[in-house]
Structures are given as structure tokens and as C-alpha cells.
């Protein structure tokens, strides 16, 4: 790998590259970014071949969870767990990026730096707008909540920081921490305004039984309330034991659930209308460690306690974690984004000076009736604005083992949106290959007998997973249940990018996200069917415009 990119904390932060890259020196050692405000751009090139076209990735270094998600005055803020110095998890701080449309991002540097003197990492948390100035930081101040992870003493406490200039400068609250229970596994505070009681609610994970702190609180998600976002009162815990009891009772229609939870992280609680009814339900999104995945727990919240009624797996792929949603979203939508990655193998995946991408931002919606409320996720609306050429437009064509209707089209590329309705008809399997090349391919297959969609990435990466990109046994396939709809078809919306494939099945009823690391030249696409003929009712393929990452440089932006 490029030695320039193997940077130590004390070195200059540099973005280098060839071709489309702009060579940009972001700073010398310390805070020595000289000069004026300006924006440079980075985009993918053959030498940075997995840099996404339309997903967020850092200029360099390591990212994990999205943090401090809040919308304010035309700007979506995306803070994130960040180590800008090398592509590994260490000395975590909060990086910052903003966007007006959730697709074109500008990176602004580190806003909550690692505290080297006290060895305190800045772990995950949420963001909100204090419209009534309850905390006294100023009207409409952004308030960020985060965990202080004391790496020496193994203690985690909850802290806040604020910004009165819409994120440009962020100041840590002088009397941090605001919640401290002396516990080693207590993190990821996320705060929202609970209108009926006119107070703030903090959801935070007590990731292990609180046996060290004398209060013996059980592992689970804790709820605190506050009138000023500073003084917090413990309200209740939704425990992992309670969850397991409910799960044992409810019927679940997928086979991948692991009913035992090691620990929960990154809670996110919000109320959603149930489409087509007058009802609302609360959704508690939690990231589950053990076999990492994200669960949506559906139920009721009364300002004090959460009661769970049902659950949905957010994503059936390997690569979706730490999902959180934007607070204060202007369109009354709930848009979540996750880290499109998987802890167990993140140190092994190939890299070109950076590691980690975010998922596509997703709307989360509920539909159904009291006894059967279902969740849907689908890409944020503005994705359609990235559409460029329509590379294929197929309708009412048969697919067989020797007939591929895509052959007569221009369907190929590295950043694509594919929308298709397929009737498996008499075929046993029908599917689509993307990022297909001489040595690699990613294969999406529908199995009619099992009503199951499979994503196979065994051959999806340049050198193949056998080279240790993924953990042994986790490299190849993921599956999701997908019922035929009433008319006998399935509907897929597939987002292909330089290093990921996201599949939204049947209007987002099921979702599956996986990373891939294909060759630059693997841009092919084909349809296939086996043992019979399937019918493409309709299929369109769009080339999606690349969104270069803007990099803003200015004095005081904490770029080091």
C-alpha cells in the first residue's frame, strides 16, 4: 500500500492519488492548516478503486459508526467515529461532514478530538437542536451527546458538546460528564425531545450488567429524562432479558435470528406513523453484538418506559451496523444511515489508505395493521437526482440459460441503480450478476422453492476472500426471505457501488447490504435463469453520477 497513507498521529494528514485525485496536503503536524477556506475534492480512480461513487467514505483513515445525526438550517450533519491517521480503529474521535441532499458530502475535519492527555476516546452518540435554549448554550444550539471512553480506567461516561454556528465550531461542555455511573460498558447516548412531557429523553446502552457500580442495573437500554439536557434522571431500563422473553413469544419468519444477545449498542428511539392508519408506533433500533446486526424493536414508549411488541431485522447482509437516524428531519421522515461494515473482519478488508463506508441513507417506514405491523426501508429520495443515462430498459422478456435480454443493452458500470420486477415463472432460480469481470462477479439469485434471495460474494473481490479479506466462513453468501407478491413477482431495487451492493426487496420489505472489492475493470452485468424460463416484467438500469467528496480546509477546523 502507499506508504504516504500509513500515517502516524504526529504526521501530516495527506490525501494523495493519481488520475482524478486532487493531490491535497491538508495540514502539517498539529493544527497547522495554513491559509484560506477552500474545498478540494476526491473521487475514485483506478488507484483508489473502492472509493464509493455515492456513499460516504472518509478522505483517509478509519471510520465506524455514524454519530451526531441532526438536520439544521438546510444541512444534514454526519459526524462519525474516526481515526484519520491510519485505517485501523484506535484513538477514536469525531469527524464531521455535511450535506444538503444526503449524497454529496463535504468533510470538515475532526470536531471532537481524542483527549491524548487523559487517554479519553470520543465514542458514539447522537445530535439534536435545542430550539428553546433549555441548556442555555443559545437558541437553536446543536447539542451533541457522546461517550467519554476512559481507556486507562476502563470507564465510560456520557458527555455533551454544543455548537452555536451550525456545526462549524464545537465546544465541549465545561462540566462533563453529565451522566456518570462508573461503569466500563455504558455508552452511545442519543437524545431527542419528547413533546408530550416537554422534556429530553436520552437512550443509552448499558452494555453489560452494571456489577461494578454498586447500583446493579441490568444490561439493556436505559432511559433518562431531563429538562435542560444537562441534569439527567434515570427512568427505566429495557433489558436484554425482557427482549429475550418477548422474542420467545413472537413468531418470527426468518431463520437468521440469533435470539441471544451479547450486548446492545447505539440505541435510536423514534415514533413513526403506521401508514394507512391513524396509529403510531415507537421503534427502538439497536445494534447487536455477538453476531453483529441491527434490530428494529417495535412497540410503545410513554416517556418513561419502552414496551416491545415485535421486531424486524434491519438488514440481512453482513455489512450494516450502528444505524442511527437524523433528528429534526424537515420532511417528517425518519432517515437512518449505518456503517456498511462488519466488526469481525474490518481489520482485514483491503484498503487504499482508508477503511469504512456508510450505507445509503434509508427511509424507515411502518405499514400494516395492529396485529401485523411491518417495517420497510428504502433509499432516501434524492438518490433519483443522481440518475444519469438509462443503460437498459427491458420489459416483458424471457430469461433462460441461453437468453439474457441485457445482452442487447448498455447495462454495465461501477455505480448503478437497478430496478426490476421479475416473475420466476417456470425457472428454479433466476438472478443477476453485477460487477462482473474476468476474475470476479457478485451474484444475486432468487430461489423459487425457498422464496429466498441470496447474495453470493465468493468471487466478488480482486484477490478472492481466500486471501483473508473476510473472516473464514463469513466470506460468501447471505440470504433474505422474499415472498412472491400477489401477482407472482418479486421486485428488487439494487444499488451497486465501487465497494458495496445494497438490495431492497419488495419495496424495501427486506434489505441486504454487503461489501465487495472488485477489480476496477469488472463492470459487467448479466441476467440468468436455471431449469426453466423466468420473465422480466420490467427492468431499468441507471448509471449514477459520482459524488466527489469535498474537503473543506480552514483554520480552526481541527484538521491536524
> Residue 287 or 441: which CB sits closer to ligand FRU?
287
Sign of CA dihedral 42, 45, 51, 56: positive
> Residue 92 or 135: which CB sits closer to ligand FRU?
92
> Residue 343 or 378: which CB sits closer to ligand FRU?
343
Of 83, 86, 98, 124, which one interacts with ligand FRU (CB under 6 A)?
A: 124
> Residue 44 or 288: which CB sits closer to ligand FRU?
288
- Closest contact distance (angstroms) between CB of 507 and ligand FRU is 29
Of 188, 222, 295, 417, which one interacts with ligand FRU (CB under 6 A)?
A: 188
Of 266, 386, 432, 512, which one interacts with ligand FRU (CB under 6 A)?
A: 266
> Residue 114 or 542: which CB sits closer to ligand FRU?
114
Of 42, 54, 64, 427, which one interacts with ligand FRU (CB under 6 A)?
A: 64
Distance (Å) of CA 174 to CA 118, 137, 166, 230:
15, 11, 19, 11
Site string for ligand FRU, 133-152 (x = CB under 6 A): --------------x-----
Of 49, 297, 322, 511, which one interacts with ligand FRU (CB under 6 A)?
A: 322
Catalytic, out of 48, 65, 157, 423: 65
Of 43, 104, 183, 265, which one interacts with ligand FRU (CB under 6 A)?
A: 265
- Comparing CA positions, the residue from 113, 42, 106 lying closest to residue 558 is 113
Catalytic site includes residue 428: no
- Closest contact distance (angstroms) between CB of 288 and ligand FRU is 10
- Three cell numbers at 64? 465506524
Cβ-contact 433, 524 below 8 angstroms: yes
> Residue 43 or 188: which CB sits closer to ligand FRU?
188
Query: Is residue 190 near ligand FRU by the rule CB under 6 A?
Result: no
SS3 243: helix
- Three cell numbers at 268? 435510536
Burial of 490 (0-12, 13-18, 19+ CB in 10 A): buried
- Closest contact distance (angstroms) between CB of 218 and ligand FRU is 18
Task: Give how many residues touch ligand FRU by CB under 6 A.
Answer: 13
SS3 529: strand
User: CB within 8 A of 531, min separation 6: which ones?
Assistant: 427, 428, 429
Distance (Å) of CA 372 to CA 88, 274, 298, 299:
42, 11, 11, 12
- Comparing CA positions, the residue from 404, 443, 442, 448 lying closest to residue 423 is 448
Query: Is residue 295 near ligand FRU by the rule CB under 6 A?
Result: no
- Closest contact distance (angstroms) between CB of 540 and ligand FRU is 36
Cβ-contact 61, 84 below 8 angstroms: yes
Query: Is residue 123 near ligand FRU by the rule CB under 6 A?
Result: yes
Distance CA 377, CA 383 (A): 14
Distance, C-alpha 91 to centroid of its chain = 21
Positions in 72-111 near ligand FRU (CB under 6 A): 81, 92
Query: Is residue 319 near ligand FRU by the rule CB under 6 A?
Result: no
> Residue 322 or 434: which CB sits closer to ligand FRU?
322
Query: Is residue 65 near ligand FRU by the rule CB under 6 A?
Result: yes
Burial of 424 (0-12, 13-18, 19+ CB in 10 A): buried
CA quadruple 173, 178, 184, 190: dihedral, nearest 10: -90
Other C-beta atoms within 10 Å of 242: how many? Answer: 15
User: CB within 8 A of 118, min separation 6: which ones?
Assistant: 150, 152
Positions in 331-370 near ligand FRU (CB under 6 A): none
- The contact set with ligand FRU (CB under 6 A) reads 64-65, 81, 92, 123-124, 147, 187-188, 265-266, 321-322
Residues marked active site are found at 65
Amino acid at each position: 500500500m502507499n506508504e504516504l497513507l500509513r500515517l502516524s498521529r504526529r504526521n501530516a494528514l495527506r490525501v494523495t492519488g493519481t488520475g482524478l485525485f486532487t493531490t491535497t496536503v491538508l495540514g502539517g503536524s498539529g493544527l497547522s492548516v495554513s491559509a484560506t477556506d477552500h474545498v478540494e475534492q476526491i473521487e475514485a480512480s483506478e488507484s483508489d478503486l473502492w472509493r464509493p461513487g455515492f456513499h460516504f467514505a472518509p478522505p483517509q483513515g478509519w471510520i465506524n459508526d455514524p454519530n451526531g445525526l441532526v438536520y439544521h438550517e438546510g444541512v444534514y450533519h454526519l459526524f462519525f467515529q474516526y481515526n484519520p491517521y491510519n485505517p485501523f480503529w484506535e484513538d477514536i474521535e469525531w469527524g464531521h461532514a455535511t450535506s444538503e441532499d444526503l449524497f454529496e458530502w463535504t468533510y470538515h475535519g475532526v470536531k471532537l478530538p481524542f483527549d491524548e492527555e487523559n487517554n479519553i476516546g470520543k465514542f458514539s452518540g447522537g445530535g439534536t437542536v435545542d430550539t428553546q435554549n433549555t441548556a442555555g448554550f443559545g437558541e437553536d444550539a446543536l447539542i451533541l451527546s457522546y461517550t467519554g471512553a476512559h481507556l486507562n480506567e476502563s470507564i465510560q461516561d456520557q458527555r455533551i458538546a454544543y455548537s452555536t454556528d451550525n456545526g462549524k465550531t464545537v465546544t465541549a461542555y465545561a462540566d462533563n460528564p453529565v451522566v456518570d455511573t462508573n461503569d466500563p460498558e455504558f455508552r452511545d447516548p442519543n437524545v431527542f425531545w419528547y413533546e408530550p412531557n416537554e422534556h429530553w429523553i436520552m437512550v443509552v446502552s448499558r452494555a453489560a450488567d452494571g456489577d461494578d457500580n454498586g447500583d446493579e442495573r441490568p444490561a439493556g437500554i436505559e432511559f433518562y429524562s431531563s429538562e435542560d439536557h444537562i441534569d439527567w434522571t434515570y427512568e427505566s431500563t429495557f433489558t436484554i432479558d425482557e427482549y429475550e422473553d418477548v422474542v420467545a413469544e413472537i413468531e418470527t419468519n426468518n431463520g437468521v435470528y440469533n435470539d441471544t444477545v451479547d450486548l446492545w449498542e447505539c440505541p435510536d428511539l423514534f415514533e413513526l406513523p403506521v401508514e394507512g392508519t391513524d396509529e403510531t408506533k415507537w421503534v427502538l433500533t439497536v445494534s447487536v453484538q455477538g453476531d453483529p446486526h441491527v434490530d428494529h424493536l417495535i412497540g410503545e414508549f410513554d416517556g418513561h418506559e419502552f414496551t416491545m411488541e415485535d421486531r424486524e431485522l434491519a438488514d440481512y447482509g453482513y455489512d450494516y451496523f450502528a444505524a442511527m437516524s437524523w433528528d429534526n428531519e424537515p420532511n417528517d421522515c425518519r432517515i437512518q444511515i449505518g456503517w456498511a461494515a462488519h466488526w469481525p473482519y474490518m481489520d482485514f478488508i483491503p484498503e487504499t489508505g482508508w477503511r469504512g463506508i456508510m450505507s445509503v441513507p434509508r427511509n424507515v417506514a411502518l405499514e400494516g395493521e395492529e396485529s401485523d405491523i411491518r417495517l420497510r426501508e428504502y433509499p432516501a429520495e434524492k438518490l433519483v437526482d443522481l440518475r444519469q443515462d438509462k443503460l437498459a430498459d427491458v420489459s416483458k422478456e424471457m430469461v433462460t440459460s441461453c437468453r439474457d435480454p441485457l445482452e442487447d443493452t448498455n447495462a454495465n458500470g461501477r455505480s448503478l441503480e437497478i430496478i426490476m420486477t421479475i416473475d420466476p415463472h417456470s425457472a428454479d432460480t433466476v438472478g443477476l450478476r453485477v460487477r462482473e469481470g474476468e476474475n470476479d462477479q457478485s451474484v444475486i439469485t432468487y430461489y423459487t422453492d425457498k422464496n429466498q434471495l441470496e447474495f453470493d460474494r465468493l468471487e466478488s473481490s480482486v484477490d478472492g476472500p481466500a486471501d483473508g479479506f473476510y473472516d473464514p466462513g463469513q466470506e460468501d453468501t447471505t440470504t433474505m426471505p422474499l415472498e412472491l407478491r400477489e401477482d407472482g413477482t418479486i421486485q428488487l431495487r439494487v444499488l451497486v457501488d465501487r465497494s458495496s451492493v445494497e438490495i431492497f426487496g419488495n419495496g424495501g420489505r427486506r434489505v441486504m447490504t454487503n461489501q465487495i472489492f472488485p477489480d476496477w475493470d469488472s463492470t459487467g452485468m448479466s441476467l440468468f435463469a436455471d431449469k426453466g424460463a423466468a420473465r422480466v416484467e420490467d427492468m431499468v438500469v441507471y448509471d449514477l453520477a459520482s459524488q466527489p467528496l469535498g474537503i473543506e480546509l480552514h483554520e480552526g477546523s481541527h484538521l491536524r
